Structure 1
Amino acid sequence: MRVLDFDGTIYDGESLLDFYLFTVRKDPRVLHYLPVALFYAVRYRLGRVTLEQLDSAMRRVGSRYLRRLTSRPGFDMDRLVSQFWDANMHKIMDWYTPQADDVVVTASFDLVAGEACRRLGITRCIGSTLDLESLTVGYLNFGPDKPLHFQRILGRETAIDAFYTDSAFDRPMIDLARRAYLVEHGRVRRIK
């Protein structure tokens, strides 16, 4: 089985950021949530906040963003996600050809990345989750949490033949895989 990260690996860019910017064009009122999210994301990457602090901040910001975004009359999340992918499927990298047993494990929300996976014929997408009923973040599938969610969903004994990523932050998933590949600017290089 191949397991792949999504952003920067299959998708050329950060789909969550691109989706957010797409929603800003639809509803400029959501613009003011970006600085807080970026502040915490950058500080996490620099080692200045813990994963728990990042998780807490993203839950707060995510919930406020969702409340604002969904408050428009006639709002339809499925339609919005579909429109986003109609405009962005061209950003799937050329190196990637889906295989029947591919699994995507991503920090992006399954609601967003899952639609791209569906269009690519990938049936298993394990991402961060949103509860649109309560407008809250279910869990963030990031860093050390990725293998936990992967094993919870597919089983602890599930073997990963190859794992593809663009980031050293995926070290916990790399450690689970028999082989690992780094994707940089659409070029794939074996690292394990």
Structure 2
Amino acid sequence: MNVYDFDETIYKKDSTRDFVFYLFKKYPICFIDLPKIGFDGLLFLFKIIDKTTFKERLYNFFRLIKDIDKELEIFVEENLHKIEPWYLNQQKEDDLVISASPYFLVKAFLDKIDVKHLIASNVDKNTGKYTGLNCYGEEKVKRYREVYNNKEIEEFYSDSLSDTPMAKISKNAFFVTKGKITNWKL
């Protein structure tokens, strides 16, 4: 089994950031939440709130979007070209994508490229509320083991050092920087 991070690994940018900007641009009413988001950003920066709390508060503006499913569909169609060609060329049927981004967002992309296995942050697309923790760092290993036990990871790909715990449990690990793949030196 090969395992991949999503954002800035097989998707050229950060899909969550892209989706948030897309919604803010299309729905100016979202700007009503901007002061609160900025304040929460400072609380996170100064470690007063954790990453999951910050992201949940950020995603709270989803409540302002009347038909988020329609917007998600349009967004994915407009951004599908950001899937890295190198990934599409080596894609296998049993690939797993593991991501800190919301499950509903990543799944919408993976459905288009026929990837069936996903572990990601469980976020309600209508309220922004999390069920469980942000799927990040050690949490990725925990969530992987809950589903796959000790199944060997043949190859792991990521752009982020925060994924070092996943790299350490993999037979081979690769670091991805702007589409360039190098061996991950652990």
TM-score computed with the length of structure 1 as normaliser: 0.84
C-alpha deviation, 1:58, in angstroms: 2.2
Contact 1:180 1:191 in 2 (8 A): yes
Work out the CA distance in 2 between the residues paired with 1:15 and 1:36: 23
Moved beyond 4 Å, runs of 4+: 36-41, 132-135
- Per-residue CA distance 1:128-179 (angstroms, 9 max, x = gap): 1123476512231111111111221x23122111100001010111111110
Structure 2: which 5+ runs fail to align? Answer: none
Residue of structure 1 aligned with 2:51, choices 41, 54, 72? 54
Compared CA separation, residues 89 and 134, structure 1 to 2 (3 A): closer
What percentage of residue pairs aligned between the two structures are identical?
26
Compared CA separation, residues 163 and 40, structure 1 to 2 (3 A): farther
Q: What's the counterpart of residue 8 of structure 1?
A: 8
Q: What's the counterpart of residue 79 of structure 2?
A: 88
Do structure 1's residue 148 and structure 2's residue 128 form an aligned pair?
no
SS at match of 1:130: coil
Q: What's the counterpart of residue 109 of structure 2?
A: 116
Work out the CA distance in 1 between the residues paired with 2:12 and 2:57: 27
Residue of structure 1 aligned with 2:63, choices 61, 64, 67? 67
Work out the CA distance in 2 between the residues paired with 1:80 and 1:37: 25
Contact 2:56 2:128 in 1 (8 A): no
- Per-residue CA distance 1:78-98 (angstroms, 9 max, x = gap): 211110011001111121122
Q: What's the counterpart of residue 68 of structure 2?
A: 77
SS at match of 1:137: coil
CA RMSD, Structure 1 to Structure 2 (Å): 2.1
Q: Report how many residues are paired.
A: 179
SS at match of 2:23: helix
Structure 1: which 5+ runs fail to align? Answer: 70-74
Contact 1:9 1:183 in 2 (8 A): yes
